[in-house]
Structure 1
Amino acid sequence: MKEKLLIIGASGHGKVVADIALKMNKWPSIAFLDDDQNIKSSLGKEVIGTINDVFKYLDNWDVFVGVGNNSMREKIQDKLETEGASIPILIHPNAVIGKHVEIAGGTVVMAGVVINCCTEIGKGCIINTGASLDHDNLIGNYVHVSPGTHLAGTVTVGQGSWLGIGSIVSNNVKIASGCKVGAGAVVIKDISEIGIYVGIPARKLE
């Protein structure tokens, strides 16, 4: 870990990421990169360049991708990894993390989250405010678990999927990669093909 943290993205999600980093109190210096030149600072921290400037900072800065869009976050982080960037894990001090939980680089765990034992979370994920993941979950890379979402035990979520705010997933359910689960949906059986799933119980939109 380095003493400076550079956050890519200075808008809504990036600000929450910065707030968590500040509360972790591990980086004396924090700054942003953003392509919107009208944003000069965010959360009291300076925007020091555009996203393409990141590569000149890699020697001295940790870099975190504070972009909410799953595919865009994946594209940026994969390129950073190729260039050897140091990509931390951000965990809000008020999150509850069980034993034998594995979390990969570039993932943010926000305030009020509970992750129970033996769960594995891939890289570049967003585990958003107040979400809960019970025991033995397997969360693929670049997944977004939205605020207030609840996953029971032994749930698998494939890469790049997005679980909407307040959605619920029953135990032993598998969700394929690249899926979107709508706000408030309740998933009670496996989702095996890409699509948008809504309702109680969740059904694929045609």
Structure 2
Amino acid sequence: MKINLFGASGHAKVIIDIIRNCNLEINYIFDDNAEIKNILGCKVNAKYSLDEVSSSPVVISIGNNQIRQRLAHHLNCNFSKALIHPSAVVSHDAQLKEGTVVMPNSVINNSAKVGAHCIINSGAIIEHDCQIGDFVHVSPQASLGGHVEVGEGTHIGIGASVIQNINIGKNCIIGAGAVIIYDIPDGSTVVGNPGQIIKQNN
């Protein structure tokens, strides 16, 4: 099977690795930065047609949650099923929606549900019964205990820890290394150990 990618930055490099390790093929790579001509030996196209987009399932290879969300709503195409690196451990009873990518050495345990167009980054741990909304990024080495809920568009920073049964709202930013022991409302930026809200957006 061939895959189309939108985005040709560093995040795309890891997704290209996943595709190659899964014995899949790159079809087209698109990026609106015309100065990017090539990535890991693959041609990058600054322009695209609907026929090209529709020719293969698409993965949005952009790390920014909000840009990924806008593109997902803008593109009228068939998105790829979740791409999972062979070194990741994903329970047979976990559910992953389309466009999601699971990076090397990450773990998604039993009965976890991961939404569409999420990034489960290298070494991240999603424990049993977690519920991860669409367009979420769980950064490298971040750990979510059992029954954690994460709202749409939230970014969990590198090495953050979330204890079990915590609810984190939509469009939050959880800082690198933060330890989350209380529920977090929508639009919050949280840092520290224990995590403290330093900013809230409507």
Shorter chain as normaliser: what TM range? over 0.9
Residue 15 of structure 1, aligned match among 13, 16, 22: 13
Question: What residue ranges of structure 1 are gaps of 5+ in the alignment?
Answer: none
Aligned residue for 2:37? 40
What does 1:28-177 align with in structure 2 at a 5 Å threshold? 29-50=26-47, 53=48, 55-80=50-75, 83-177=76-170
**2: CA distance, partners of 1:59 / 1:160:** 26
SS at match of 2:27: strand
Q: Deviations over 1:141-163 (max 9, x none)?
A: 00000001000100000000000
**1:205 correspondence with 2:198:** yes
Aligned residue for 1:184? 177
Question: Are the equivalent residues in 2 in contact too, given 1:159–1:177 (CA < 8 A)?
Answer: yes
Aligned-residue sequence identity (percent) comes to 39
Distance 1:54 1:66, change over 3 A: farther
Distance 1:163 1:126, change over 3 A: same
**1: CA distance, partners of 2:9 / 2:142:** 23
Q: After the TM superposition, which of the residue ranges 61-70 and 84-93 deviates more from structure 2?
A: 84-93
Q: After the TM superposition, which of the residue ranges 31-40 and 61-70 deviates more from structure 2?
A: 31-40
Tell me how many residue pairs correspond in the alignment: 199
**2: CA distance, partners of 1:129 / 1:48:** 27
Q: Deviations over 1:70-116 (max 9, x none)?
A: 01001111222xx2424331100000011310000010000000111
SS at match of 2:53: coil
Distance 1:71 1:95, change over 3 A: same
Question: What residue ranges of structure 2 are gaps of 5+ in the alignment?
Answer: none
Question: Are the equivalent residues in 1 in contact too, given 2:3–2:24 (CA < 8 A)?
Answer: no
SS at match of 2:54: coil
**1: CA distance, partners of 2:11 / 2:186:** 28
Question: Are the equivalent residues in 2 in contact too, given 1:146–1:166 (CA < 8 A)?
Answer: yes
**2: CA distance, partners of 1:129 / 1:118:** 20
Q: Deviations over 1:166-202 (max 9, x none)?
A: 0000000000001000000000111123211000000
**1:26 correspondence with 2:16:** no
Amino acid at match of 2:52: Y
